[in-house]
Chain A
């Protein structure tokens, strides 16, 4: 056993009670539990520092692994979980184009086709995509009911919600000032907007009562997200979930205003676009 030193620190009563409770659960004494908690806390702190350094580009993955005290394999997994994106070199497209036997530029029809390819290959990666498009500061938190079961999604740039939302932004800020196609996702992010789902699985093929039950259970998770992101505005993307979104905001103690919109299909698309566009204009001048 390595040498140990006596350290005296003052702790709040509540913290000591919590340590004692955990120590009792594991049938160890208070000092041993405190040592274990310190060890875990320090490891978490080292990992955070390593990930922050890697994200900032100041250290390599290998160096980050060394700081965090883990293997490079584990570090690469953590980098993936953190959603830190791989930075392509600016000229990589030209180099790949040359390798593939083509120098022509990317046309819109290619983009559409390729989004479909990306969708097929990475359908299970919605959460990864969502994390990639999370703004540094979330000003507008859009809340959808769930990802649709049909394989489309806002963050795959191929859903009704994606197209209607892009149209609302174009209505609010001018078509020439809003990116089209998949590039709109980056613009959505840059404007501080982020879309999360109330329910973590597709519900569009479930019965109404099952759907409502899942929505009620999603409130706690949404409250946590609202608490963490502290958005200025909440947008409930479906009239029937505004109660859940309001409840989650209350639980989180959020003072964000809530805009409840219908889901943009059939006759509701026009209403969705008009009301969202009006809100975007209003919020942009605040």
Chain B
């Protein structure tokens, strides 16, 4: 049984969400949204290999989180590797890193964070539990002002449609208003 303070017990991050959280300086959301945060070796390698990392300061933030033990590297078993290769054959375009994330999420019932809509649909059809980056930002940022700022910055980074940004902010705002109203009633 998971700890109810968290969104999920085990969270498995794909590479793109990790980069976006680092770009937003929002890796702190991980510690308050999941009991344990995992990455695959392939994801970590893609993020932090020296020839890439020296050009991208975000990589340093990711390495720091791993060094602090706030993110665990999960090694795929032989059967998970086999399942990943099978997925790669069946669903071209996902790539080996993504199929490894999916196969581990399936076999260990981890909740996955995946960037691309198509990959999320594939994951959902395979029974993988998913959390969106937006949900991580909302649930993991207690300060309402910073939360909205992060959502707007993320929206800008990923070219989110204006009407989507507007609707998201409206939901956040209305949630805050409702909670405030609830406190006043008490």
Chain A 93-130 interface 0/1 with B at a Cβ cutoff of 8 Å (1 = within)? 10111011110101100110111011001100100110
Q: Are B19 and A76 in contact (CB under 8 A)?
A: yes
Q: Which of B19, B116, B138, B159 lies in contact with A132, CB distance below 8 A?
A: B159
Q: Mark B6-43, 1 if CB is under 8 A from A, else 0.
A: 00000000111001100000000000000000000000
Chain A residues with Cβ below 8 Å from B16 are 60-62, 72, 76
Interface hit among A28-36, A81-89, A143-151: A81-89
In Å, the complex CA distance between A155 and B159 comes to: 14
Contact with A along B161-176 (1 / 0, CB 8 A): 1111111111111111
CB nearest neighbor in A for B116: A60
Interface size on A, residues (CB 8 A): 57
Is chain A's interface secondary structure helix, strand, loop, or mixed overall?
A: helix
Let me know if A198 is at the binding interface, CB within 8 A.
Answer: no
Closest residue of chain B to A83 (Cβ to Cβ) is B159
A93's partner among B55, B157, B168, B178 (CB-CB below 8 A) is: B168
Stretch of B65-73, B74-82, B105-113, B146-154 on the interface side: B146-154
A183 interfacial contact with B, CB 8 Å:
yes
Q: Which residues of B contact A113 (CB under 8 A)?
A: 170, 173
Known: A61-B116, A121-B149, A121-B152. A100 touches B174 (CB 8 A): yes
Main SS class of interface, B: helix
Given A102-B171, A117-B148, are A92 and B134 also a contact pair (CB < 8 Å)?
yes
10 A-B residue pairings within 8 Å (CB atoms): A72-B16, A86-B155, A95-B132, A107-B170, A107-B174, A121-B156, A122-B155, A131-B159, A185-B162, A186-B163
Q: Chain B residues in contact with chain A, CB under 8 A? A: 14-16, 19-20, 46-47, 52, 55-56, 58-59, 93-95, 97-98, 115-120, 132, 134-135, 138-139, 148-149, 152-153, 155-179
Chain A residues packing against B (C-beta within 8 Å): 53-54, 57-63, 66, 71-73, 76, 79-80, 83-89, 92-93, 95-97, 99-102, 104, 106-107, 110-111, 113-115, 117-118, 121-122, 125, 128-129, 131-133, 155-157, 182-183, 185-186
